[in-house]
Amino acid sequence: MTNRVVLIGHPVAHSFSGGMQQAAFDALGIDARYELWDRRPLDLADAVAELRGDDFLGANITIPHKEHVVPLVDKLTEEAQAIGAVNVIARDGKRLIGHNTDVAGFKSALDKLVGRQKMPRYAVVLGAGGAARAVVYALITDGFQRVVVFNRHLHRAEGMVRHFGKSASHMDLRAMPWHESVLEAELLKTKLLVNASSIGLVTNETPIPAELLPPDLMVMDLVYNPSQSQLLKDAAAARCTVMNGEHMLLQQGARSFELWTGKPAPLDVMQAELDRAREQGLRQMPVDTGSTAVPPVDLAADPPAPRG
């Protein structure tokens, strides 16, 4: 029986996970197929229920489902529970376990971005979805002293700050309204800017006007496709140190692979596939859109109500 692993999201066609994970299965001779499932929020529960079939090893969960999938699994790891978001589902017998490997992926990327410089203690984070939760949790547990979150819908950022109330009681974690003057003032105080919003994922928009970017900032954009988003182009032009989301993708993906297969991930194979995809354009994997037609995604539309 060929085993199956799926990426559940909306949209999914931009993702490099399919090529990267399939290359890893093939290299290790694992009889498994990685599928891209484009599922709208209303279809999420059915998609997760399907994972209970014997042929499934598990799933990756992506935009916009990482928080909404939390009540649909049987058990959460301590970390996924603390974050309130799941990006990997793996099986433990019949049970579906929700994990979060974005945190380890982000921490590895942050270490690489900072390099030999001193680890900053103050960060500005854009976004308040599933990825932003993992980023903020990583910064809290890495000893940051002040983290300011900006999000299009302020109430969602405020909900995230409330969620982390206890674990962040030793530091200053706050949500601020996304106004240019407020953002500009915070960017002048910080050394690290992380874009964990979806801005730049399907359009070439940037979350921050170029003129607001001070020099010498470290800027990480979780978006990896295109490899240099407009934000990173502007930041590089302003002499900032920049990094896209590819290293995080690789590191979270390697940990996902290990959870599904129990085998060490072939990092070199996965990186080679990412290099190939970046250079030649995305390998077009078939996207399963489910039983109903999926309309073009409108990332600017209101998201489903977030958990507080």
Catalytic residue among 66, 75, 94, 233: 66
**CA atoms of 73 and 90, how far apart (whole Å):** 10
Min dist. Cβ of residue 2 to ligand NAP (A): 26
* Residue 107 bears catalytic tag: no
Min dist. Cβ of residue 93 to ligand NAP (A): 28
66 near ligand NAP (CB under 6 A): yes
Over the range 93-103, which residues count as b (16 or more CB within 10 Å of their CB) and which as e?
eeebbbbbbbb
Using an 8 Å Cβ cutoff, are 187 and 214 in contact? yes
Radius of gyration of the chain (CA): 19
Q: Would you say 71 or 92 has its CB closer to ligand NAP?
A: 71
Min dist. Cβ of residue 81 to ligand NAP (A): 17
Interface segment toward ligand NAP; rule CB under 6 A; list 24-32, 50-58, 220-228, 258-266 = 220-228
130 near ligand NAP (CB under 6 A): yes
Contacts of 35 (CB under 8 A, 6+ apart): 4, 5, 6, 7, 18, 285, 286, 288
| Member of 100, 198, 206, 289 binding ligand NAP (CB under 6 A) | 198
Residue (of 58, 100, 64) closest to 82 by Cα position = 100
125 near ligand NAP (CB under 6 A): no
Alpha helices (runs of H) in 190-266, residue ranges in sequence order = 230-237, 246-261
β 146-150/287-288 pair status: unpaired
Min dist. Cβ of residue 191 to ligand NAP (A): 21
131 near ligand NAP (CB under 6 A): yes
**CA atoms of 1 and 22, how far apart (whole Å):** 16
Q: Give the footprint of ligand NAP on residues 153-172 (CB under 6 A).
A: 153, 156
Site string for ligand NAP, 245-284 (x = CB under 6 A): x--xx--x--------------------------------
Min dist. Cβ of residue 197 to ligand NAP (A): 4
Give the three-state DSSP class for 132. Answer: helix
* DSSP label of 37: E
What burial class does residue 54 get, using C-beta atoms within 10 Å of its C-beta: 0-12 exposed, 13-18 middle, 19+ buried? exposed
Q: Would you say 121 or 233 has its CB closer to ligand NAP?
A: 233
297 near ligand NAP (CB under 6 A): no
Interface segment toward ligand NAP; rule CB under 6 A; list 21-29, 58-66, 71-79, 230-238 = 58-66
The CA-based diameter of the chain, rounded to the nearest angstrom, is: 58
**CA atoms of 158 and 67, how far apart (whole Å):** 15
Using an 8 Å Cβ cutoff, are 190 and 120 in contact? yes
112 near ligand NAP (CB under 6 A): no
Binding site residues, ligand NAP, CB under 6 A: 62-64, 66, 102, 105, 127-132, 151-153, 156, 196-199, 201, 222-224, 245, 248-249, 252, 299-300, 303
Residues with catalytic roles: 66
